[in-house]
Amino acid sequence: STGQFCQLSSSAHKIAPTQTQTHSRFDSSLAASSCFSKSCLSFLAKEDFLEDSRVRRPRKGNCILKMFLTRSEYDRGVNTFSPEGRLFQVEYAIEAIKLGSTAIGICTQEGVVMAVEKRITSPLMEPTKVEKIVEVDRHIGCATSGLMADSRTLLDRARVECQNHWFVYNERMTVESCAQAVSSLAIQFGDSDDTGSAMSRPFGVAILFAGIENGEPQLWHMDPSGTYIRYDAKAIGSGSEGAQQNLQEYYLQTMTIKEAINLALSTLKQVMEEKLNSTNVEVMTMTAGELFRMFSKEEVEEYINNMS
């Protein structure tokens, strides 16, 4: 038995170094893996992690790595904020407006002018049936850019609100109140019998409101986020960036209606891909005397010829 004990002891001494080597190999591989994780995290999170011998954990305030993995989750929901405090679906709806036709509104002391591009994609289309400027009430007109199917829903709400205000209060609705009523529908993503439910997406349309309030011309703009702001001059649509820069350079509050029409048409001429003519553009004026007035094709042609 003494010999067996000595044999077992010697074998145990042989096994012990092997186990030690195994642990050392495991530690070295774990350290190498830890270093590799550290390099990856330093690339994605700029080395913003807690130091630990084996575990690298992001700090509580660092959401960069998490956002790379879960951004698609915030893209899908219209009622879910991202960690940055953004609603991506609303931002995408605002970007969709930049695919629409260009619309320009200019407010002067005499009245408001709106000029809108009409895209005639086929020679078989009837140009008179492509309406970009509509009359909401006698003293309010709207120009839209974006998805036309969405614009009909918002414009119908604007008309109903103006009619209800007239019947209830026996007075015309203010331009700001009309814009506010439409923006309330836009931020709710549509009407619903259940107040807790919402439409599947935001409205992909922006609207320019031109109106007269107590003899004063006003121009308002509303986007899919439900924000409505009053402007002196505003451009929306695909050519809005270039048009807005041109308006900032040449707009004057003292300009007349005719000067505002010439400025709107010349701005459209610069940003439109097609040649400007009386078929692919609409012009409207809103003044205290005539209120809503759409220009005929002949009148638009005359302004274009005088401009050139």
- Amino acid at residue number 249: E
Question: What does the alpha-carbon distance between residue 237 and residue 260 come to, in Å, rounded to a whole number?
Answer: 19
Q: What's the pLDDT band for 59 if we cut at 50, 70, 90?
A: very low
Averaged confidence pLDDT in the chain: 80
Question: Nearest-CA neighbor of 247 among 228, 221, 227?
Answer: 221
Tokens of 130: 């492509």
Residue 111 has pLDDT above 80, yes or no: yes
Angstrom distances, CA of residue 107 to CA of 13, 50, 208, 238, 300? 96, 57, 11, 21, 19
Residue 49 has pLDDT above 60, yes or no: no
Q: What's the pLDDT band for 192 if we cut at 50, 70, 90?
A: low
Question: What does the alpha-carbon distance between residue 283 and residue 124 come to, in Å, rounded to a whole number?
Answer: 23
Q: What strand order describes the sheet that includes 111-117? A: 233-236, 103-107, 111-117, 281-287, 291-294
Tokens of 9: 């002891």
pLDDT for 294: 96
Q: What's the pLDDT band for 79 if we cut at 50, 70, 90?
A: confident
- The count of residues in the chain is 308
pLDDT for 58: 45
pLDDT for 201: 84
The values of phi and psi at residue 213, to 5°, are -130, 115
Question: Nearest-CA neighbor of 110 among 219, 217, 250?
Answer: 217
pLDDT for 57: 45
Question: What does the alpha-carbon distance between residue 260 and residue 257 come to, in Å, rounded to a whole number?
Answer: 5
18-22, 67-71, 77-81, 242-246: range with highest mean pLDDT: 242-246
Residue 193 has pLDDT above 90, yes or no: no
pLDDT for 73: 67
Task: Tell me yes or no: is domain 96-307 CATH 1.20.1640.10.
Answer: no
Residue found under tokens 């679906």: 89
pLDDT for 187: 85
Side-chain half-sphere CA neighbours of 171 within 13 A: 7
227-280 tens-digit pLDDT: 999 999 999 999 999 999 999 999 999 999 999 999 999 999 999 988 999 999
pTM (predicted TM-score) = 0.74
Q: Quote the crossing angle between the two packed helices 88-97 and 64-76, to the nearest 10°.
A: 60
Q: Quote the crossing angle between the two packed helices 2-45 and 64-76, to the nearest 10°.
A: 60
Q: For the chain, how far is it from start to end, CA to CA, in angstroms?
A: 118
Question: What is the H or E stretch that residue 236 is in?
Answer: strand 233-236
Q: What's the pLDDT band for 83 if we cut at 50, 70, 90?
A: confident
pLDDT for 182: 96
Q: What's the pLDDT band for 190 if we cut at 50, 70, 90?
A: low
Judged by DSSP in three states, 27 sits in: helix
Question: What does the alpha-carbon distance between residue 114 and residue 260 come to, in Å, rounded to a whole number?
Answer: 9
Question: What does the alpha-carbon distance between residue 295 and residue 284 come to, in Å, rounded to a whole number?
Answer: 6
Question: What is the H or E stretch that residue 76 is in?
Answer: helix 64-76
Q: Is the dihedral of CA 21, 25, 30, 31 positive or negative?
A: positive
Tokens of 57: 């954990």
